[in-house]
Amino acid sequence: MKLNAFTDVCLRVLMTLGRDAGTKLTTQQIADRIAVPYNHVVKAVGELRRRGLVDVARGRTGGAVITEAGLDQRIGRLVHELTTRPEMVDCTGLESGVPCPLRDGCGLRLALARARDAFYAELDQYRVRDLTAHNETFLGLPAVGRPAPGSPADRPDAIPA
């Protein structure tokens, strides 16, 4: 299965905010960290806010911060809800305008639906916090307030600043 681009951006936003829960990041900071165009991040943050997964404050000291609900969000459920194309194949011809001539006696649609459901079930074993909790580095960046692994400040003999 392939995630649509919007779902991918939403997951990246949640994982970025979940990495340093409680830290406000602007949409531009998030866009820079996940290498996605700013306007795509704005759209994703708006949807995540609507779902109660992030809080957003406007203004000079504003930014987005992940909520407890965002940290506890099951990945499979979110991916399923954000998927705009529920069927993996267009048997009915809804998109193409031409229904598949094999649809009445074909088992592919059922097999793909079962595989899709298994995919969501596997992803549902993970929450946002599970995807980011144990990473000392994320996106190649250390967590806020932590030195990058291998940097001089990370050495045990380093003198505190």
> Could you tell me if residue 158 is inside a domain?
no
Tens digit of pLDDT for each residue in 89-146?
Answer: 888 888 888 988 888 888 888 899 899 999 999 999 999 999 887 655 544 554 444 4
Please tell me the predicted confidence (pLDDT) of residue 140: 53
Alpha helices in 65-107 (DSSP H): 68-71, 75-82
State the residue range of the domain holding 23: 5-86+126-138
> Could you tell me if residue 100 is inside a domain?
no
Question: Taking a C-beta distance cutoff of 8 angstroms, is the pair 149, 136 a contact?
Answer: yes
86 burial type by CB count under 10 A (0-12 exposed, 13-18 middle, 19+ buried): exposed
Task: Tell me the C-alpha distance between 148 and 52, whole Å.
Answer: 32
* pLDDT value at 5 more than 80: yes
Please tell me the predicted confidence (pLDDT) of residue 3: 86
> Could you tell me if residue 49 is inside a domain?
yes
Please tell me the predicted confidence (pLDDT) of residue 135: 57
Tens digit of pLDDT for each residue in 76-90?
Answer: 999 999 988 777 888
Domain count, the chain: 1
**Neighbour tally for 63: CB within 10 Å:** 20
> Could you tell me if residue 105 is inside a domain?
no
Task: Tell me the C-alpha distance between 32 and 13, whole Å.
Answer: 11
Which strand (E) or helix (H) includes residue 132? helix 128-132
Tens digit of pLDDT for each residue in 12-62?
Answer: 999 999 998 889 999 999 999 999 999 999 999 999 999 999 999 998 888
Quick one: tokens of 72?
């506890």
* pLDDT value at 66 more than 50: yes
Question: Taking a C-beta distance cutoff of 8 angstroms, is the pair 89, 108 a contact?
Answer: yes
> Could you tell me if residue 115 is inside a domain?
no
**Neighbour tally for 107: CB within 10 Å:** 8
> Could you tell me if residue 148 is inside a domain?
no
Max intra-chain CA distance, the chain: 73
* pLDDT value at 150 more than 70: no
> Could you tell me if residue 144 is inside a domain?
no
70/146: higher pLDDT: 70
Please tell me the predicted confidence (pLDDT) of residue 136: 56
> Could you tell me if residue 116 is inside a domain?
no
User: Cα 31 to the chain's mean position, in Å?
Assistant: 13
Looking up residue 26, the CATH number of its domain turns out to be 1.10.10.10
Task: Tell me the C-alpha distance between 27 and 24, whole Å.
Answer: 10
